[in-house]
Amino acid sequence: MSVFCKIYQNMSQNLINRISKNCNYKHYHWPLYKRAFLTDNPQSTVEDWYVWKERFQTHNWEIDIWTMTMDDFEYHWPYHSAFIRNSFEGANLFEEE
């Protein structure tokens, strides 16, 4: 079980809702998403970007958090994982990575 999954189990519904509101796909941000994806993943191709974008638009981070490794969750849900990291950064929960 990843650290993200452990943290998720103890999150309030209010925090989960805030993460979804702030991090879920917004169609008017796609140029920013594309630039960030290709910058954060320099080995990736434009085809990789389209695959990532499709998943980001159609999947649910609240389901994926239960089954993905830390690395996979950070790759597929970078905004959600960053929000979680920032929310819990003082708790030293990510030291066991």
pLDDT at 97 over 80: no
Q: Which residues contact 87 (CB under 8 A, 6 or more apart)?
A: 15
pTM: 0.87
Confidence band (pLDDT; 50, 70, 90) for 89?
A: confident
The helix-helix angle for 30-40 and 46-58 (nearest 10°) equals 120
Residues 47-85 have pLDDT tens digits of: 999 999 999 999 999 999 999 999 999 999 999 999 999
Residue 90's CB is within 10 A of a number of other CB atoms, namely 7
d(CA 81, CA 36): 14
The size of the chain, in residues, is 97
Residue range 19-44, pLDDT digits in tens: 999 999 998 999 999 999 999 999 99
Query: For all residues of the chain together, what is the average pLDDT?
Result: 91
55: which residues sit within 8 A by CB, 6+ positions away?
76
- 76 neighbors 64 (Cβ within 8 angstroms): yes
